[in-house]
Structure 1
């Protein structure tokens, strides 16, 4: 199993727009083969920090996800709302 965290630090005032855009990505990703869970959380101390926590059956499942049409269409729109690139970590369950 692979776990992914992707921390997004948003431009002030862009949080609600980000949440609206990301709804489709979350819905479609959860339906992908190999997706165990795919959730977005908001920092309780800073509403402009949103973090994805993802669980994937395999590295191949994760790779397929990053090549889906919905990911390729939506990810650039989400990046435009961020102060900087997401901080992404990928973990392999031991």
Structure 2
């Protein structure tokens, strides 16, 4: 199993737009073959900061996800809403 943690910050005037896009991405991605979980968190102290935490069966499932129309739509639209680059890390579960 592979866990992806992706942190992002929305431009202050784009928080609602990013939230709408992200919630749609999460809803559809949870239905994908190979997805174990897909969650989206908002920072309590900074409303423009968000974190995706995704668990996938394997790297093939991640590759398939990255090729989906809904993921590519999110990437295309969300890029202009970010205040800076995403911070993306991949982890493997040890226990």
| TM-score calculated relative to the size of structure 2 | 0.93
Q: Which residue does the alignment assign to 1:89?
A: 89
- 1:9 Cα offset (Å): 0.9
Written as runs of structure 1 = structure 2, the 5 A alignment for 1:22-41 is: 22-41=22-41
Q: Which residue does the alignment assign to 2:54?
A: 54
Point out where structure 2 has 5 or more consecutive residues left out of the alignment: none
May I ask how many residue pairs the two structures share in their alignment? Answer: 94
- Give the 3-state SS of the residue equivalent to 1:19 in structure 2: helix
CA deviation vs aligned residue, 1:2-45 (integer Å, no higher than 9, x gap)? 00000011111211111112222111100000101101000111
In 2: Cα distance, 1:39 partner to 1:75 partner: 17
CA deviation vs aligned residue, 1:39-86 (integer Å, no higher than 9, x gap)? 100011101100000000111101110111111112121111001111
- Give the 3-state SS of the residue equivalent to 1:37 in structure 2: strand
* Structure 1 stretches of at least 4 aligned residues deviating more than 3 Å after TM superposition: none
| TM-score calculated relative to the size of structure 1 | 0.94
Written as runs of structure 1 = structure 2, the 5 A alignment for 1:66-81 is: 66-81=66-81
- 1:93 Cα offset (Å): 1.6
